[in-house]
Every structure is written in C-alpha cells, then in structure tokens.
Chains A and B, each alone.
Chain A
C-alpha cells in the first residue's frame, strides 16, 4: 500500500512526464484497437494476396465467337447440350491442367422465414424478391478451401443427385433464420452453413474477394442439367471456368477441343493480366495503414521505455535513499510498476465512463496489462542488474 501511495506521489510530482506517458499509452492503445478491429481487412488482404499467388498460372476464357451464329444456329443444333456436356467434362476432368467452374443463378424464393436483409434485389415489375444463388463444381469448393460453421460440404452424391430437392450450403447470414435440414421454398435443403465472411474470387467480374454471406450455394448437378437440356447453365458454367496450368500449350488444346465440338472461339487472358490494374487500386492501403500503425506503435513503446528509463535515472538518488531506509529493489520495482499500471489503466477508465462495459474494454484492459509489462521490463532488468552499492554511490 505504501508503494501505491509513493507511486501516486511520483505521478503527481512528475506531471509532465506522466502526461507524456499517458498520451503515449493512450495512442498505443488506440492504435492497437484500431488494428484489432481492422485486422479483419488485413486478413482479407492477406488472403487476397495469397490467392493472387495461387492464381499466378490461372487463365480466364473469353468467348469471342460470332454471337449471331451462336444464337441463331448453334443453339438450335440437336446435340448441342451433349457437346457442351462433353466439353465441360473434358475441361473439368482433364489430367493436364486444373480448373474450377461456377455460375450464378438468381433465385426467386417465397418463404416467410426469409429476411429482407438477405434479398439481393427485387424485380420492379412483379415485386418478386431475388436471392443470390451460386452453382459450382467440386473444384470450386476445394480451390477456395471453404470452412463451414455448421453442417457438411457437398459429397459426390449431391453432385449427381437428380431429385427435385437440391442440397445447398447457405451463407452465414442464413444461419440466423434457418436450421440445418430446413428446406427453403420446398426446393433447397440446407446441408450446411458457411463460416462468416467466406469469400471467393470472380475475377472476370471484379478484383475484390466476394462474400458468400448472403448466397445460397448449389452443386452443379451435371446429369440433371443434361436431362433438362439446360443449355444456359452449361453455357455460363463453361465460360466461367478458370484454367490453372503452367503450360500455356494447354490453351491451344482447349481451343482445338472447342472447335472440334463446334462450340466457342476463345481468347485467353491470364488472371495476372486481368488483376493487374485492379490490384493497385484496392486493398493495398490497408497494408500501408498497418505498417504505418506498427511504426507509430513501435516508436510509442520505445518512447515509453525511454520515458521510464529516464525517470529511473532522475529518481535513482531518491530510490537509493529508500533502499537505504530498508526498501528492497523489488519494492522499488513494484512502485514503478504501479505508476505504469495506473497510467495505462487511466485510458481504460475513461473508455469505461464513455462507453460502459464492453468486450472491447476487456481487450483494451488486456492490452494495457501487456503493454505495461512490456514497458516495465527494460527498467526492471536495468534496476536488477545494478548493484545497490552503485545505486547508493550514484546518490552520493
């Protein structure tokens, strides 16, 4: 208790030093919590950067065939869906390169459990509410390495299922309104929910990672599509296929195969090329901001340590006197610690008064304890290493 009293007196006696320390610690805490709340963006960015790496050898297929011919002739040919299926299989099960494929489907759903926050858009004319659906193959799921908060991923049976009820994995936001096993609009049975903020790339559309939180993800059921002559679905899923290969000759083979089947004429573009211009504009600032924060934080902490060391120097005579009167070095350290601890706690008390109790406060308090320990460490070692005789001699 005596040390606590001395510590308070020290703080009051060194008003300006304490104030500087208070500012430093407040700034550090603010930076820390800022970084903490934005670490999410950082994770996103890191994921994006690693993704970009994985995309080093990825190619997109842009159909440059004559649209008139395609819509006026090709689609009316008897076996076009079979040929598309053939092409799809050749693309996705090829041993010479990897790929993944997906496509979008706007789902008009009528189910009173559906919350308006899930709606992606509303048709002006009919007032029908549309929900975003995504159809994908197994490689898509594997490529983005999705994690679920509940349930399971698709199995082989789900992809080959031809029944009327489609197994789906719903975005995280759906888990607030539905349970596993629920059937939405008597058609989509939920077998799993993605983790919050599960993301994927649609590089053809944009350079950002897209969230699945409000999406319903369906397996691409090839056999069913074939049975139903679903030409549109084949067309879009084939053209959204991303090819991953280190060997560019593969692209020629793809073109050859497509021509052979009388389907598309392609222009291939590498993902790097596609991302190139997008990359500069987005995300990068988060990294700079973090680096900037880290630098300031670093100097704050160094500043606080210097502050402590300086005060140890100014105080050494007085501390020596206390040691002469029966203080142990340990009680001196405790006294220093109380000072740091109090000044570190002060911003938290202010937060408490302004915002009340919250989990942020708890984190901030934990950070405070961490910071004060860090800051006290150097002076502590310094004090413990100087022998008493030296402390007293310096005080003479």
Chain B
C-alpha cells in the first residue's frame, strides 16, 4: 500500500545553540492512506511538534518528509501554506475559533485562502451534518465546548482535505462530549479520511487502529 505520510529520521531542534531543545530526534514512521492513528506520550515528549511538522506548520531541522511521495522541503512559506490549506484539516484542543465570528464565518475561513472551487453551501451542509444548523449565525463565543469542537471539525472539513490532524481534540471536553467528537472522527475515517489524533486519553487511543508512542522525542517501539 502507498504511504500517504512518510517521515525519515526527522529531527526537530528549537532554540539556539546554548539552550536548544531537541523536540524530536530521528523519528521515522509511515502512515497509510485511510488509517486512523493515535499519538500518545507524556507531556513535552514532542507530539505536537510531530503533528506540526506533518501539517506543514513547522519544518524539521533534519530528515525528510514525503507527503504522497513528494518531498516536502523546508520550502517556501507560500507552498507550505497552500498544502496546509488544501491537504490538511486541523482540530486542536482549544478549538482555535475566532470568537467574534459567527459559526458559519469560522467554518469559511479556509476558503479565503484556497484555490479550490468550493461552494459556500458546503458550510451549511457540514454544519447540518454536525447538528449545528441552528447555530450557524451564532457567535462562536456563545457555544458550548462540544459545539465549538464540532464547528472546528466542520472547518477542518470545508476544503475537503484528505488528512485530519487532531491535537488533543477531546482535551477540553467532558467524557461524553469527547466521546461524541471521537465518534465523528472515526466516522470520517470510515469515509476515507486519514486521521492522526494526539491524545492523553487511553480510551481515545483505543478507538484508533494504531497507536504510536513518543517519549523524549523518540518513537518507542511497540
């Protein structure tokens, strides 16, 4: 099977010489198209860093990263932004919504950076599907945590990306709502999306088909 994501000896070092932090060292892994993978590990082990590199938010200090067999060089900001916009959908712990925007407007943000021709009606469809039709003209600040995370998921899907990167998507939610969010993600996986979930929660990890454990910036072999 073809790997959609392939990392080879990825090392990420933050900071300058004297106080450098080795967030990742020699990480190699591959993720197949259609997988749903959990990334677990203690705090500060480098999970978010890994996700940021995969999501083209950050570039590795060393190593190679292939996305769909094409090498992502620490290339131009503009190209990285395009890949971020078109290939990935991001869901994060604090939802990353613009509080002063309405729900619908939040969902539409990625379209303003996209070259894909996508109708704005898609936002309505997605919100409908996530049970937020009635809330679409409500300000994001007026929503509950679970609702906010569903808005974030709708936004992650608006550009129809094939990979969803979720960094502790359930971290700020109570058990039940967290479970609902995970259910949505697994459903999306069944529809063919490749999904990577960073989590501290072993229940969440169990819902994934594979678990990658990171410790001290290195993948622990299981």
Contact = CB atoms under 8 A, between A and B. Distances in A.
Contacts of B86: 326
Q: Is the interface of A mostly helix, strand, loop or mixed?
A: helix
Contacts of A392: 52, 57
B96 A326 contact: no
Interface in B57-99: 57-58, 77-78, 80-82, 84-86, 90, 92-94, 96-98
B113 A326 contact: yes
Interface string B31-49: 0000000000000000001
B57 A326 contact: no
Given A331-B81, A387-B58, A396-B92, A325 B97 contact: no
A396 B86 CA distance: 23
B100 interface: yes
A360 interface: no
A388 B81 CA distance: 11
B91 to A, nearest CB: 10
Interface residues of B, number: 28
B114 interface: yes
Contacts of B97: 321
B144 interface: no
Interface residues of A, number: 23
A13 B100 CA distance: 9
A325 B93 contact: no
A324 interface: yes
Nearest to B165: A324
A325 B58 contact: no
A14 to B, nearest CB: 11
A115 B4 CA distance: 88
A235 B155 CA distance: 96
Interface in A1-51: 2, 5-6, 13
Contacts of A389: 14, 49, 52, 57-58
B178 interface: no
Contacts of A387: 58
A395 B96 contact: yes
Contact of A396 (B82, B85, B94, B109): B94
Nearest to A318: B98
Given A2-B113, A13-B100, A389-B57, A328 B94 contact: no
B110 interface: yes
A324 B84 contact: yes
A387 B21 CA distance: 15
B112 interface: yes
Nearest to B97: A321
A323 B57 CA distance: 8
Contact of A328 (B78, B100, B109, B159): B78
B93 A322 contact: no
Contact of B82 (A2, A318, A326): A326
Contacts of A257: none
A327 interface: yes
A187 to B, nearest CB: 76
A389 B114 CA distance: 21
Interface string B97-140: 11010000000011011100000000000000000000000000
Contact of A327 (B49, B92, B96, B113): B113
Interface string A321-355: 11111111111000000000000000000000000
Contacts of A324: 57, 84, 90, 92, 96
Given A389-B58, A392-B57, A326 B114 contact: yes
22 contacts: A2-B112, A2-B113, A5-B112, A6-B112, A321-B98, A322-B109, A323-B81, A324-B57, A326-B81, A326-B84, A326-B110, A326-B114, A327-B113, A328-B81, A328-B113, A329-B77, A387-B58, A388-B52, A389-B14, A395-B96, A396-B92, A396-B94
User: 4 tightest A-B contacts by CB?
Assistant: A326-B85, A328-B81, A2-B112, A326-B113
Interface of B: 14, 49, 52, 57-58, 77-78, 80-82, 84-86, 90, 92-94, 96-98, 100, 109-110, 112-114, 155, 159
